[in-house]
Chains A and B, each alone.
Chain A
Amino acid sequence: MDQFRRIQTGKKGDIHLVAFKDKKILDDTVLDEIRTEVTHLIGKASGPDVLLDFANVEFMSSAMLGLLGQLHRKISAGHGRLKMCGIRPEILTVFKITNLDKLFSIHKDAPTALATFT
């Protein structure tokens, strides 16, 4: 079941649930592995709905925003929806500073986020 090193995956209906295992997403290597794993997960799905859970993440580099942008484009292009939840305030600041809190669909926690996929 747990086939990935960096992400924990699950499904709720058709929605892919992806929780990051790492506390720190700072390293380029960690970032590349997350990129590979998430891409692998959603690669096969058409029009995937994806919820990214940041509950474990305490630190995150600006390069991670780039990866989120990549996923956002990839998922939108397939007419899927990307949503995020469990982002702690310090990390939310990074989204706010870059104005990207307005681009991404960000929710308090998983139940709240799941309720918005209708």
Chain B
Amino acid sequence: MHDNASGGDGVSPAGVDVLIAEDSRIQARMLERRLTEAGHRVRWGENGALALAMARERRPDIIVSDIEMPEMTGYEFCKAVKTDPDLRTVPFILLSTLSDPIDIIRGLDAGADNYVTKPYEADYLLARMGALLATPLAAADDTGDAMLEVTLAGQKFRVRAGRQQVLNLLVSTFENAVSKNQELIVANQELSVARDGLQKSNEELTALNVEISRINAHMVRDLKAAAKVQRSLLPPDNVDIPGTQIAWRYVPCQSLAGDFLNVFPLDGEHTGLFVVDVSGHGVPSSLMAVTVGRFLTPKISDSSLLVRQGPDGRVVVVPPAEVATQLNHLFQADEFSGLYFTLLYGVLHLPTGRFDFCSGGHPALVRLPADGGDVEFHATESFPIAFVPDVEYAQQSIQLLPGDRLFLYSDGVPEAMDKDRNPYGDEAMAACIRDSRGQPVGAGVAGLLAAVEKWCEPEGPLDDVSILGVEWRP
């Protein structure tokens, strides 16, 4: 009856009949493969009830059973085996998660011979099987009626267990604990290494953060300085040039703008005025704007393109088309970066009212005649500056009558978009300028800006807005 294959001749007997009770097909298949590889014959029951029927059909040499299973749990299955006179000496290994100390008691009570904690290494299980089969349970040893009293977690349990079984279970539990403890020590060491690594990374990150903050602070400071330089390119709030009435408004959409404008006396008879709009936004555009500004200064210097010293020591006013041609020449790079600007630069001759101007791809100059005639648009005849190398810029002229007004602006005015992305447009702009007739030029400029801002509600303009208005009053 008790003819197990171990024969007591070794701890890893090959070719024993193993019965697995396991409800997970994957777990069962993995275990089956490992056991088969080790030379064992394997049967598998999906739950305790099926496995019990299989055990009764043919007595296995050893049983390995999961605990949580439908129909019949591992404990119930174990108890059924251990109370079956034909099967009681078959070694029974419970696969437990051992999450609760009560599990031990349950195992004892059910008569399990050994515990293996899940997750387990197949080799560990095989070693356990070998050990169990090497020390076979004597049928006589298990009297079946020895009652032990155990107190666990403040609760008293009375369990039925034989000495050999208790010893086996105790040893297996202790071995489990030692094995788990070793795993814990290794895991702890790994954690410790990982923690050291993390701490090092953290220190590096902190250092990097400090560096980023420093660079950021530096950039903010530079940007503020650049914005200040840009503001210095603008005229004073109240421009007072005899023979004219001048007003301007400038609303950049970011702290750094691509737009700028200015108006200033060039000599006793000439007043220069311009609006510049560099394509794009942000740092590259504003840097270009600042650079352009250096050339558009009324002070005689090496860099000024607007005026130069004549042979007789008098100031010579450079014609606007020549200024534009020279700017275009200066801003040619070997490889065009795609950055360019439009410019409308004009010179008003105060004694005669003659206005000479050049537009490099800039939106049309608007004239509001004092005699009641309709607004005129004077469109550009040249390309934007820096766009095409070696081109001559065309000069245009208008003869003003006393009281005539000129409006220069950036494309942020006619191209301002409402919430549905409709442009404000030339016609609305013309109407607004027309309506300002009879009011001071300042009211006309402020009115146009207010109209653009209203058009862009609620978000406000997405582009820089520049407006410069001049009235000739000889």
B-binding residues in A (CB < 8 A): 28, 35, 59, 61-63, 65-67, 69-70, 73, 90, 94, 97-100, 102-103
Contact = CB atoms under 8 A, between A and B. Distances in A.
B383 A62 contact: no
A103 B361 CA distance: 11
B465 to A, nearest CB: 14
Interface in B279-295: 279-282
16 contacts: A35-B338, A62-B279, A63-B280, A65-B279, A66-B280, A66-B339, A66-B340, A69-B340, A69-B388, A70-B337, A97-B380, A98-B380, A98-B383, A99-B361, A99-B384, A100-B383
A-B residue pairs, 3 tightest by C-beta: A66-B338, A98-B361, A63-B280
Chief secondary structure at chain B's binding surface: loop
A14 to B, nearest CB: 25
Contact of A99 (B340, B383, B423): B383
Contacts of B388: 69, 103
Contact of A98 (B280, B338, B342, B414): B342
Interface of B: 277, 279-282, 336-340, 342, 361-364, 379-384, 387-388, 411, 414-415, 421, 423
B279 A90 contact: no
Given A90-B423, A98-B383, A70 B363 contact: no
Contacts of A99: 361, 379-384
Given A97-B411, A99-B361, A63 B338 contact: yes
Contacts, number: 65
A86 to B, nearest CB: 19
Contacts of A62: 277, 279-280, 411
A3 B309 CA distance: 59
Given A69-B340, A90-B423, A100 B280 contact: no
A69 B282 CA distance: 20
Given A69-B336, A99-B380, 20 more contacts: A61-B279, A62-B280, A63-B279, A63-B280, A65-B279, A65-B340, A65-B384, A66-B280, A69-B387, A90-B423, A94-B415, A97-B364, A97-B379, A97-B411, A97-B414, A99-B361, A99-B382, A100-B387, A103-B383, A103-B388
A98 B344 CA distance: 11
Contacts of A100: 361, 383-384, 387
Contacts of B387: 66, 69, 100, 103
Contacts of A63: 279-280, 338
A73 B388 CA distance: 8
Contacts of B380: 97-99
Contacts of A102: 383
Nearest to A96: B379
B358 to A, nearest CB: 12
Nearest to B340: A66
A66 B225 CA distance: 27
With a 10 A CB-CB cut-off, give which of A65, A97, A98 has the most chain B CB atoms: A98
Contact of B280 (A28, A35, A69): A28
Nearest to B422: A90
With a 10 A CB-CB cut-off, give which of B282, B342, B387, B414 has the most chain A CB atoms: B387
Contacts of A67: 338
Contacts of A59: 421
A90 B414 CA distance: 12
A44 B30 CA distance: 57
A90 B337 CA distance: 26
